[in-house]
Structure 1
């Protein structure tokens, strides 16, 4: 451990010197008043040797069950930079001047809630999107989304066929963002995949696959490939507040390939979604391996 003593007229000046020289990870061991002001004793833990850092990274990647063909690209250097170089990342095109966004995925992945969250984000930013659901077959699907759109004061259109979808899009206001909630789809069923592809073609939409975190990497990769065949180019990873192992998210992005766009991080409509950036994903990968806090024994 490297110890250093800092003297300054004020505590604020002393702490500024500590941060400037030792960085934000410095440990403050002691402070005391001195004749000339204050003294601060600070320390910095030495960097682990390269071999130890590599072993720690290998354990992290193994914990998350990251696909073996992806691990070499993530084993060295800052994790966020390695992720940015190895996987595609891109924000959702929510500008009304861009194409509509169609959210597709297997049943129960969180598509409807994701649409509600994106609509909430737009409304809070002063933009009123057009929300369309194509899921007229699942009991309660329309009612679930209608509850959100009523609260937001925006329009919800039910269009379960390409013809009705085309009519709804023809009536939208210029520059109005469009969010389309697709029905839960089995991408390995050719008929369902073609049905989604027809909706995508009619809307000219950018397609985001909504996939929950925590899936087995092989399963996630196969789903990503199936939805990519139907036009998906983006990935929204849901339930990252619950999933402990995120290898499936990385596997899906790699297999599609699908650009990582958004992350589901909580139950709320207003704050339950966050941009899925390399820095965010790196933090989640590291945080997930930390021991869970335990309640004290009675």
Structure 2
């Protein structure tokens, strides 16, 4: 039997350490408070000890720049199963009658195109959503979205502040899905975060982070945490077709405890978005170098 002692600030953090290092089958033998810390003794039966990580898997984790905080859990492999255990995956809540979705993210993340892609999917399935743009700051933002909504035969409402958003939602038909394109946001600027949270509150909405892949993992983790603190619980990474390293995607989602939903995988509005799954993400990460799919 393999024994190990873990110390953490809380029981929750300690159990997370146990799962990350010993896996879900670890046995908790004892726990006690030691000053301000919690001390946990855990064990693995010999037959349950993790196998030596596969060399190809370790190479992939290195190549993608996966943060050290995730490596131990993911290198236990197989990668698809490890991703399913470590990360959260969920569909976008697009059912009729659900709360509006506010898409946020740093400037240039691809929010407007993501709104257009989701709207296109809904229309192709026979559902017409209400589209609201609150991005009155970026030149041409409304016109860009209007070009899509005209083709799709959808209503586009412009509402640059929370009161206007509330008025726009008063025009919502019964059961009509609502997509709100928020302005680009710097989550480290208090004034911009205040505007974003005010928008979400006025719409009683679900906040979705749109974040481009290819970011430095440390930077991505800070962005994920900051937007999660503002209320985001879901994430749509974009540009997976243009980057080769996905460590930033994992870092942001893990740091903010964000559920991975869909991913931007191409330039088209009709086919540029696909659901993210552990198997699909693992396939991208293990693909031959120079290919992401």
Answer whether TM exceeds 0.5 for this pair. yes
Displacement of 1:145 in angstroms is 0.2
Displacement of 1:51 in angstroms is 7.3
Please give the alpha-carbon distance, in whole angstroms, between the structure 1 residues aligned to 2:98 and 2:268: 26
Q: Secondary structure at the match of 2:282?
A: helix
Please give the alpha-carbon distance, in whole angstroms, between the structure 2 residues aligned to 1:97 and 1:51: 47
1:220 matched residue in structure 2: 220
Q: What is the number of equivalent residue pairs in this alignment?
A: 242
1:134 matched residue in structure 2: 134
Displacement of 1:53 in angstroms is 5.5
What are the Cα deviations for residues 48-68 of structure 1, in whole angstroms up to 9, with x where unaligned? xx9786222111101101000
Please give the alpha-carbon distance, in whole angstroms, between the structure 1 residues aligned to 2:219 and 2:233: 18
Matches of residues 1-298 of structure 1 in structure 2 within 5 Å?
54-287=54-287, 290-292=288-290
Q: Taking structure 1 as the reference length, what is the TM-score of the superposition?
A: 0.79
Compare CA radii of gyration and give the structure with the larger one.
1
Please give the alpha-carbon distance, in whole angstroms, between the structure 1 residues aligned to 2:186 and 2:240: 22
Please give the alpha-carbon distance, in whole angstroms, between the structure 1 residues aligned to 2:51 and 2:162: 57
Unaligned runs of 5+ in 1: 1-49, 294-298
Alpha-carbon RMSD across the aligned residues, in angstroms, is: 1.3
Please give the alpha-carbon distance, in whole angstroms, between the structure 1 residues aligned to 2:197 and 2:52: 48
Q: Taking structure 2 as the reference length, what is the TM-score of the superposition?
A: 0.80
Q: Secondary structure at the match of 1:274?
A: strand
Unaligned runs of 5+ in 2: 1-49
**Contact between 2:128 and 2:176, CA under 8 Å: does it hold in 1?**
yes
Structure 1 residues 267 and 291: CA distance shift in structure 2, 3 A: same
Please give the alpha-carbon distance, in whole angstroms, between the structure 1 residues aligned to 2:179 and 2:274: 17
Please give the alpha-carbon distance, in whole angstroms, between the structure 1 residues aligned to 2:234 and 2:199: 17
1:28 matched residue in structure 2: none
Q: Secondary structure at the match of 1:96?
A: coil
Please give the alpha-carbon distance, in whole angstroms, between the structure 1 residues aligned to 2:280 and 2:289: 19
What are the Cα deviations for residues 153-199 of structure 1, in whole angstroms up to 9, with x where unaligned? 00000011100100111110010000000000000000000100000
